[in-house]
Amino acid sequence: MESLFGDQYDNKDEKSNLFADIILPVPIPKMFTYKIPRNLAESIGIGFRVIVQFGKKKILTGIIGRVHQKPPTSYDAKPILDLLDNHATVNPIQIRFWAWMAEYYCCHIGEVMNAALPSGLKLSSESKIQLNPTFDPDTSPYPLDEREELLLQALANKEEMSYEDCEAVLGIKSIHGILKSLVIKEAIIVFEQVKEKYSPKVESRIRFSHEHVKDKKLLEALFNEIAGKPKQEEILLKYLQEVPVYKKPELNQKGLEKKVISDAGLSASSLKTLIKNGVLEEFKIIISRFEEEEGSNEEIVLSSEQEEAFQQIKKEFEDKNTVLLHGITGSGKTELYITLIKEVLAGGSQVLLLLPEIALTTHMVGRLRQVFGSSMGVYHSKYSDNERVEVWNGVLSGKLSFVVGVRSSIFLPFDSLGMVIIDEEHEPSYKQFDPAPRFQARDAGIMLSWLHQSKTLLGSATPSFETFHNAKTGKYGYVSLEKRFGEAQLPDYYLADILVDKKKNLLKLDFTRLMREKIQEALNNQEQVLIFQNRRGYAPYISCEDCGWIPECEHCDVSLTYHQFGEEMRCHYCGFKEKVPHACSACGSNKLSAVGLGTERIEESLSLLFPEARVARMDLDTTRSKYGYQRLLEDFGSGNVDILVGTQMITKGLDFDRVTVVGIMDADRILYFPDFRAGERAFQQITQVAGRAGRRDKKGSVIIQTRKPEQAIFGQIISGDYKSFYLQEMGERQRFFYPPFVKIIKITTRHKDYKTAEKSARYLHNLMGDIQVKKILLGPEKGLIGKIKNQYIFESIVKLDRTGNAQAHFKQELLHILEEMQAHKDFRGVRFVVDVDPY
Ligand SMILES: Nc1ncnc2c1ncn2[C@@H]1O[C@H](COP(=O)(O)OP(=O)(O)OP(=O)(O)O)[C@@H](O)[C@H]1O
Ligand SMILES: [Zn+2]
């Protein structure tokens, strides 16, 4: 370990004067200093987890950030209560990474820690405790003491217990020691209320009751007994066929998955009878989600274009830390990644592959699993905390040297990364908006990679402008892959003019004639169709035909979305719901109509237009459950669905053989979004979703419905002319001072009272104006949505020079200002949020 104790530390008597600065998972500006008790002094170091008291009552898990001999001047240091492990949970690179993140994104290191550590690793007085379902006291190698047993008994009757509940059961204070011990013994699981609880995957199995397999005679007698009951006999024969206990009685122990019997079409009630009569017994086992699986170790054969790109990437890495792989949709970036990952792993380094949230359940992960087996960890936001802890510990112990994960996987305890790969680097979901740290995982990933002296590969068919700019200016290496893999070709594009069809009466339920024809053609050929509309619900709003009244959210400044499913009006910002009104609240008219197009409505229209087609919908509402997304994909993949309607969820990474038609319902909606990136995003979204079509031998078609087909961007998308689109947009950005030419920081002020919110925002704005750096300061203005969850919102935008230390200086001053304002009574209850690179 590094010399943590400083050079002067060589005198044994001074041990009792050791202090530790501790990172606590709370939004406070600094680390807190605690005293290291004499008995812990030998075994403590940077990155260790400790338990401390914070404030009057709170017990928190903290991470040791620094060890020194300077007592704090303004308060008496409390002692560290306990040490949680005998090793560091967080390594020095991670601590540097956290510190960088806090500084760059203007937040507190404790907030970074909070985001970084799974709550299973943060035992605190706010934790909840559940029994670990996999724990069995009879087989556990660890003996339990009396108090531990008492606590487990209490837990057995409950879903969960709070820290205080545990104290009450045992009648003692400070029970962290007991909880710590139970965690080590894997008897309990610590979690936070907000997260879902850990429920293991359980499988029902059956086997012969033990006496029957004792000897063959018994089994024979059994068969004689049920000879007159063919259905029961069938089941037993099936069992014997799958589990030959005649030859090997010991096989009975593991039994057979119960599902095998029902899958074979055998009688469920006869099976029940057999179990009831004690012939068979049913039992349950817990299947690990991280089942041992051998990787295939197959040789990856790259196409000649891929091979060339691979060699170029390696060449670029010789003098660049970051390389952009600009490969068109379907060019086979996955196989290239696999080849690279294998090479880095063979060299003994770790690899992190970042994927956008939703792409994590697609074929790509399946493909990677095939190659890397269980040596690959998957870090998914839909995993429970316990599963996250498993991946964390897998990386820590060295068992997992390759992880594929969502943005939060950048926090895993890697100690020797050799490569970070960021797929679909342009994806907006890499940005975390709330809560702090409001980081961009692509940018943070590049930083992490740099801290490890490792390399970063960014992959995309439609790179973000920042990245492309960095590649063009030589900061990043650049490699392109311009051919689809195999015989596949890029699809043909068609622009369908909504207004023309409307005039000619050809528009039916929002579908142009061309779109309908193309869909019909695909259906006739038994091919599949994707329809894209980035708006969920039935209609964005309803409106009174007589007076124009539109129902709005009681708590937010937005209209309510009409959801046909459940017949309700919902707010997409705060979750508020109400019944669909039958009459106008303003004039009483009952002529209310749904306006605009949501995925639900499109789904309905498709069923009316193509009654023979099987239509499914993929959006936030149909994929809320843990495996919802995966199930829909499986259905689509196995051909049970002909047309899939979806939001941007369907644009990511899907690779299906039979998709030949992709329809974009309303391209104008994507283009006219009030954001400087609208054009860039539209180019990306349309190209990406179009890229799902015709990925095998048959050429695909993409139909774009629009009211203005003459717009230049369509021509550029169709010809795949990313570069001229880029140049044109960049001209605008330079003229109007937008990234990547400036850095943007957005400062939001919120309060439940309009006046207070406005006044505070102005006050802050003026103080920011005084900060001595070259900048453009805009606002404060009412937010694009002026009120969310009863809080009024004002925003200021700062545009900063990218050169020199303008940014660092501004951020530092800003934090000062905010600290002072927040301590002042005039601004009590006002919330200020700083968002660096807020896009
Ligand atoms: N070298 C190869 N050998 C065999 N199959 C390949 C190879 N390269 C690509 N493929 C196949 O071609 C298809 C497209 O590849 P992949 O999905 O990796 O493309 P991609 O570049 O990630 O596309 P997108 O950006 O659209 O997601 C996949 O089905 C993949 O299995
Ligand atoms: Zn609302």
Ligand 1 proximity of 301 Cβ (cutoff 6 Å): yes
Residue with the smallest CA separation from ligand 1 atom 23 is: 330
For residues 779 and 763, is the Cβ–Cβ distance under 8 A? Answer: no
Residue with the smallest CA separation from ligand 1 atom 8 is: 332
Helical H segments across 257-355, by residue range: 258-263, 268-276, 304-319, 333-346
Residue with the smallest CA separation from ligand 1 atom 27 is: 653
For residues 130 and 193, is the Cβ–Cβ distance under 8 A? Answer: no
Helical H segments across 547-627, by residue range: 599-609
Rounded distance between C-alpha atoms, residue 8 and residue 3, angstroms: 11
- CATH number belonging to the domain at 742-836, selected among 3.50.30.30, 3.30.470.20, 3.30.70.600, 3.50.50.60: 3.30.70.600
User: What is the 487 CA–ligand 1 centroid distance (Å)?
Assistant: 12
User: What is the 339 CA–ligand 1 centroid distance (Å)?
Assistant: 13
85: left (phi over 0), alpha (psi -120 to 50) or beta: beta
Tokens of 141: 């190698």
For residues 89 and 102, is the Cβ–Cβ distance under 8 A? Answer: no
Closest approach atom of ligand 1 to CA 300:
1
- ipTM for the assembly: 0.94
Question: Residue 578 is inside which H or E element, if any?
Answer: strand 577-579
556 is in an annotated binding site: yes
Which 3 state secondary structure label does DSSP give 461? coil
Report the relative pairing of strands 376-379 and 528-532 from DSSP bridges: unpaired
Superfamily name with CATH number, domain 12-121: PriA, 3(prime) DNA-binding domain (3.40.1440.60)
Ligand 1 proximity of 127 Cβ (cutoff 6 Å): no
For residues 73 and 51, is the Cβ–Cβ distance under 8 A? Answer: no
> What is the residue-wise DSSP string for 649-710?
GGGSS---TTEEEEEES-HHHHHT-SSTTHHHHHHHHHHHHHTTS--SSSPPEEEEEES-TT
Check if 12-121 and 304-481 are the same fold: no
Ligand 1 proximity of 306 Cβ (cutoff 6 Å): yes
Closest approach atom of ligand 1 to CA 424:
25
291 by Cβ neighbours in 10 Å (0-12 / 13-18 / 19+) ranks as: exposed
HSE toward the beta carbon, residue 534, CA cutoff 13 A: 16
pLDDT number for residue 14: 45
pLDDT number for residue 716: 93
For residues 341 and 351, is the Cβ–Cβ distance under 8 A? Answer: yes
pLDDT number for residue 707: 94
Q: How far is CA 181 from CA 614, 686, 797, in A?
A: 54, 54, 50
Tokens of 415: 């100690």
Ligand nearest the Cα atom of residue 460: 1
Residue with the smallest CA separation from ligand 1 atom 18 is: 332
Secondary structure of 102-131 as H, E, C letters: HHHCCCCHHHHHHHHCCHHHCCCCCCEEEE
Tokens of 505: 């009466």
Which portions of the chain are predicted below pLDDT 70? Answer: 1-16, 193-201, 286-292, 358-361
Closest approach atom of ligand 1 to CA 459:
25
User: What is the 571 CA–ligand 2 centroid distance (Å)?
Assistant: 5
Residue with tokens 């969820």, as numbered in its chain? 649
626 by Cβ neighbours in 10 Å (0-12 / 13-18 / 19+) ranks as: middle
544 is in an annotated binding site: yes
Q: Please provide the CATH number assigned to the domain covering 492-536+598-731.
A: 3.40.50.300
C-beta atoms surrounding 630 within 10 Å: 15
Q: How far is CA 36 from CA 40, 81, 362, in A?
A: 7, 9, 48
For residues 452 and 91, is the Cβ–Cβ distance under 8 A? Answer: no
Look at the alpha carbons of 749, 754, 756, 758 in this order and tell me if their dihedral is positive or negative.
Answer: positive
Ligand 1 proximity of 425 Cβ (cutoff 6 Å): no
Residue with the smallest CA separation from ligand 1 atom 31 is: 332
Rounded distance between C-alpha atoms, residue 796 and residue 112, angstroms: 24
Residue with the smallest CA separation from ligand 1 atom 9 is: 332
* pLDDT tens per residue, range 791-815: 999 999 999 988 888 999 999 999 9
166 is in an annotated binding site: no
User: What is the 635 CA–ligand 1 centroid distance (Å)?
Assistant: 21
Ligand 1 proximity of 332 Cβ (cutoff 6 Å): yes
pLDDT number for residue 56: 80
Partners of 798 in beta bridges: 745, 777
Rounded distance between C-alpha atoms, residue 395 and residue 376, angstroms: 10
Sorted by where each begins, the domain ranges of the chain are 12-121, 128-191, 201-287, 304-481, 492-536+598-731, 540-595, 742-836
* pLDDT tens per residue, range 540-580: 889 999 998 999 999 988 889 999 888 899 998 888 999 99
HSE toward the beta carbon, residue 611, CA cutoff 13 A: 1
Q: Please provide the CATH number assigned to the domain covering 304-481.
A: 3.40.50.300
HSE toward the beta carbon, residue 107, CA cutoff 13 A: 25
Ligand 1 proximity of 485 Cβ (cutoff 6 Å): yes
Partners of 323 in beta bridges: 457, 477
Q: How far is CA 735 from CA 710, 725, 730, 731, in A?
A: 24, 16, 8, 6
Secondary structure of 361-414 as H, E, C letters: HCHHHHHHHHHHHHHEEEECCCCCHHHHHHHHHHHHHCCCCEEEECHHHHHCCC
Polymer length in residues for the chain: 839
Residue with the smallest CA separation from ligand 1 atom 29 is: 655
